[in-house]
Structure 1
Amino acid sequence: MSVTASDLDAATAALAAALEPVVNRDWTAATGTGDLNAFRTVEHLGDCLLSYAAQLVSCPRDRYVAFEAGLTPDATAADALEFAVTGGRLLAAAVRTASPDARAYHPTGMADPAGFAGMGVVEILVHGEDVARGLGVAVEPPADVCARVLERMFPEVTVAAEPWTALLWATDRVELPGLPNRAGWRWRGTPAGE
């Protein structure tokens, strides 16, 4: 199973479905990921997704493409969500048009299009869930997308849990009985066998 642009589309749709109903709330007062509030977490998400698209388009071997993307000072929560959704769609477009042989730098290894798609799905779903929890809602991604992402990005994770819960455990968002936490987790950027 490989992670595809369609998986990015599904993850992006799940993010939008969860967060669109709460764009009227104060995202700067809601928790996000780590020390970031919900607004800054979604800004970080949009930047990550655009960075992954740039990596896949430019294919640098030893560095990130040197840019950062961020929201304008007057951006609203709706603008932040639009930024993240746009990043997801641009990454999906880059994955769709990239050669299967394309490889680009990521600190976890030279990633292929499926690797960048997987990274994007993890970013969308996990940061999306962080933000959703802070706003009192939940992201509900398709189980098959979570299963493909787990297999590609976290091949060492073989837990007896449904795929979304397993992905949240793999990224240290939830605890599972009898299993250690995953602080310091890393995904596999390189394709299997490389």
Structure 2
Amino acid sequence: MLSGHMPVNGDHVRQAVTACVTVLDGVPAAQWHDRAGELEWTCWETLEHLADDLLTYALRFGLARPNAVPRVPLRVSCDRPGGPGNVVFGDHEAGPEGLLTVVEACGGLLATVVDATAATTLAPHVFGASDPEGFAAMGVVETLVHTHDITQGLHRPWEPSQELSERVLARLFPDVPVVDTPWSTLLWATGRMETPGRPRRTNWRWNGAPLSRS
């Protein structure tokens, strides 16, 4: 193991997804049409987007040579102008519980795939190629911050595991020092809040490049 390294794996993806499903369970159907925090999407659309992220991350490692294909060529569509472009959507007749089931299934698939794939395997991402651990960390970040967006829109208090936040900060934002708490730092790193002495980020990205194993 790398000195000081905090690994991120499928268990952490499952922890993040479980936290998401738990806090959003039982939200009345009508509230899912509310805007998700400061996003231009509804809470429902944001949760669909999360499911889409988790699924498409997992699909990248289903190929024999993941890094040889820029993207799995699935058809992307939107339910409305300005909505997220996804390859997967929830069945509205199944209601919010159905969409939460979709998220849980997609998260479970990513968790299984990253743990089953050789650690040195690379797959493409818009921010640069990454390994299974990097994609696990991406899945955790997507889950935590989009759950935050949704709970903000629903006016439902929520704070995830500080340890999960610390792990993904170390893996994807190694140049961002933790100020106050890992969770508040992750929100700052992803452009969702400002902190004393650190204005809100308007242009951010993570660093998914594989860690040096030397």
Contact 1:125 1:139 (C-alpha < 8 Å) held by counterparts:
no
Contact 1:32 1:41 (C-alpha < 8 Å) held by counterparts:
no
Greater Cα shift, 169-178 or 28-37: 28-37
Contact 1:18 1:140 (C-alpha < 8 Å) held by counterparts:
no
- Aligned equivalents of 1:135, 1:19: Cα separation in 2: 9
Are 1:161 and 2:168 counterparts?
no
TM-score, scaled relative to structure 2: 0.84
Contact 1:9 1:89 (C-alpha < 8 Å) held by counterparts:
yes
Specify the alignment match of 1:13 in structure 2. 18
Contact 2:91 2:99 (C-alpha < 8 Å) held by counterparts:
no
Find 2:71's aligned residue among 39, 43, 64.
Answer: 64
CA spacing shift, 1:43–1:26, aligned 2, 3 Å: same
- Aligned equivalents of 2:28, 2:96: Cα separation in 1: 5
- Aligned equivalents of 2:178, 2:123: Cα separation in 1: 30
* CA RMSD across the alignment: 1.7
What are the Cα deviations for residues 147-182 of structure 1, in whole angstroms up to 9, with x where unaligned?
010000111110322111111111111111011221
- Aligned equivalents of 1:56, 1:33: Cα separation in 2: 32
Indicate the structure (1 or 2) with the bigger Cα radius of gyration: 2
Contact 1:56 1:98 (C-alpha < 8 Å) held by counterparts:
yes
Greater Cα shift, 48-57 or 62-71: 62-71
Are 1:51 and 2:56 counterparts?
yes
- Aligned equivalents of 1:187, 1:108: Cα separation in 2: 7
- Aligned equivalents of 2:69, 2:178: Cα separation in 1: 34
Specify the alignment match of 1:79 in structure 2. 98
SS in 2 for 1:27: helix
- Aligned equivalents of 1:145, 1:29: Cα separation in 2: 28
Q: Counterpart amino acid of 1:55? A: R
What are the Cα deviations for residues 129-149 of structure 1, in whole angstroms up to 9, with x where unaligned?
100111111333211111010
SS in 1 for 2:120: coil
SS in 2 for 1:22: coil
Q: Counterpart amino acid of 1:149? A: V
CA spacing shift, 1:32–1:79, aligned 2, 3 Å: farther
Find 1:38's aligned residue among 21, 37, 43.
Answer: 43
Within-5 A mapping of 1:34-183: 34-58=39-63, 59-67=66-74, 68-183=87-202
Contact 1:23 1:78 (C-alpha < 8 Å) held by counterparts:
no
Give the superposition deviation at 1:192: 2.7
- Aligned equivalents of 1:158, 1:102: Cα separation in 2: 29
What are the Cα deviations for residues 97-122 of structure 1, in whole angstroms up to 9, with x where unaligned?
11111110001111101100010000
Percent identity for Structure 1 against Structure 2:
37
> Which consecutive unaligned segments of at least 5 residues does structure 2 have?
1-5, 75-86
